[in-house]
Structure 1
Amino acid sequence: MNTPTSAPITHIVLFKYSPSITWAKLESHFSSFLSLQSKCLHPSTRKPYMKSMRMGKNRSWEPYSKGMTHGFVLEFEDQDDLNYYLTQDPVHKAFSQTAKDLMYAVIPKCPSN
């Protein structure tokens, strides 16, 4: 059982896609996002460092989504790994640049560099 000091770090991202996006672009985006789990490599070990990733479409009828249609839940071993992913990982940066044209809104926004 994980103790609070050794618990994995959860990173949640919610997307609202541009209304003009095609299904083919959506599928390509999902595939690219899911591939980050194996393509994002730790800078020293050169091995994948993301522990897990899940995704899904919001199917709730509650009125709290603010238009966000899809969510991704990423899990990292520690805060350092998440920080590297958000601010330095070149694979994630390239993905974010490509994906931003598909988005109407993203919560949370990654720091821009």
Structure 2
Amino acid sequence: MAIVHMIIFQFKADASDKAIQGLCDHMLELSEKCIHPTTKKPYIRLSDGGKNNSPEGLTGGFTHGFVMWFLTPEDRDYYVHKDPAHREFVKAASKVVEDVRVVDFEPGVF
């Protein structure tokens, strides 16, 4: 059962464009940097994201979104709670991110 992990960021008002771009690049690099503790291979199956361009005006200040796919809930849980590369990212993000939202789901499960 796959898990989709969706993340949206609201950046601090004083975050520079360079800092925001750097954090977004760092986020997308996690798909290569996050290594499974057993297989020793990358375990994020798909990772993508970018800057909001919706014309709806419903972002509430959130400007960038990302989606990651994991094969199992256990992979997602390792990523969230233990992966050293992700923990490093969270530390870096705290310097420029004002707020974050995360929604995880299994495709087709309501």
Superposition TM-score tier, normalisation by shorter sequence: 0.7 to 0.9
Count of aligned pairs between the two proteins: 103
Residue identity opposite 2:17 in structure 1: W
* Residue from 35, 42, 61 that aligns with 1:48: 42
Residue in 1 aligned with 2:18?
24
Deviation at 1:64?
Answer: 2.2
Deviation at 1:72?
Answer: 0.3
Q: Does 2:66 correspond to 1:65? A: no
TM-score of the pair, normalised by structure 1: 0.85
Structure 1 consecutive aligned stretches of length 4 or more whose deviation exceeds 6 Å: none
TM-score of the pair, normalised by structure 2: 0.87
Deviation at 1:61?
Answer: 2.4
Residue in 2 aligned with 1:3?
none
Specify the SS of the correspondent of 1:72: strand
Deviation at 1:108?
Answer: 2.6
Q: Measure the CA separation in 1 of the matches of 2:14 and 2:41.
A: 37
Instruction: Name the structure where strand makes up a greater proportion of residues.
Output: 2
Residue in 1 aligned with 2:84?
90
Q: Measure the CA separation in 1 of the matches of 2:66 and 2:35.
A: 19
Deviation at 1:62?
Answer: 1.6
* Uncovered stretches (5+) of structure 2, i.e. residues with no partner: 104-110
* Uncovered stretches (5+) of structure 1, i.e. residues with no partner: 1-5
